[in-house]
């Protein structure tokens, strides 16, 4: 949930008016940061009430590059560029710029999130109408790959069993007192 409601943001923008009051005066009245007021006013001026709604967006590499090119051509600041393109977080623009300078358009592509896989995927065992049903129909390479996979699986299970036996609570010898 957003920290501020849409109605609150609209009341802040309305109180600001068309520059009748300063950002500092508005921020003091509503007890918020002047930069937040400035961002809301710019977003509302560029996109209307839709600019004040919370937005979760993922941008592709082409869009990011077009934003950067427009910023460079027109000499816009990060905040101005974010307001024009309805990018809610202007602080991501310097990151896009830095990544583009280091790696080109490939670096702007969305990155995979989360932890990388620790184990490779198991080989796909074909099952279907065209799948070989017996070992005789499989090639030597397929049989060797399956054999290696089964050996690894067997070794893994043996190791797991050995570790679980080590962690099992050991019976204590009763003391003679």
Determine which of 7-11, 21-25, 78-82, 130-134 has the lowest per-residue pLDDT on average.
130-134
Where residue 44 falls (left for φ over 0; alpha for ψ -120 to 50; beta otherwise) is: alpha
| Residue linked to tokens 């080590």 | 166
pLDDT > 80? residue 113: no
Does the domain formed by 1-54 have CATH 3.40.190? no
Beta carbons of 38 and 78 less than 8 angstroms apart = no
Please, what is the average pLDDT of the chain?
Answer: 83
pLDDT > 90? residue 146: yes
**pLDDT tier for residue 147 given thresholds of 50, 70 and 90:** very high
Residues of the chain with pLDDT > 70, as a percent, come to 86
Domains of the chain by residue range: 1-54, 56-109, 136-165
Task: Compute the Cα dihedral for 173, 174, 176, 177 and give only its sign.
Answer: positive
pTM for the predicted model, two decimal places: 0.47
């Amino acid at each position: 949930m957003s920290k501020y409601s849409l109605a609150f943001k609209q009341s802040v923008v309305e109180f600001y008016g068309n520059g009748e009051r300063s950002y500092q005066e508005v921020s003091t009245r509503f007890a918020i940061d002047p930069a937040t007021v400035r961002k809301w006013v710019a977003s509302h001026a560029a996109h209307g009430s839709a600019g004040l709604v919370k937005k979760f967006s993922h941008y592709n590499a082409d869009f990011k590059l077009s934003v950067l090119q427009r910023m460079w051509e027109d000499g816009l600041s990060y905040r101005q560029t974010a307001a024009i393109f309805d990018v809610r977080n202007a602080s991501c623009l310097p990151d896009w710029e830095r990544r583009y300078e280091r790696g080109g358009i490939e670096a702007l592509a969305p990155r995979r999130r989360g932890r990388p896989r620790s184990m490779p995927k198991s080989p796909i065992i074909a099952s279907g109408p065209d799948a070989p049903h017996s070992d005789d129909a499989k090639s030597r390479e397929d049989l060797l790959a399956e054999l290696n996979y089964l050996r690894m699986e067997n070794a893994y299970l043996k190791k797991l069993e050995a570790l679980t036996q080590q962690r099992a609570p050991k019976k204590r010898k009763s003391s003679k007192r």
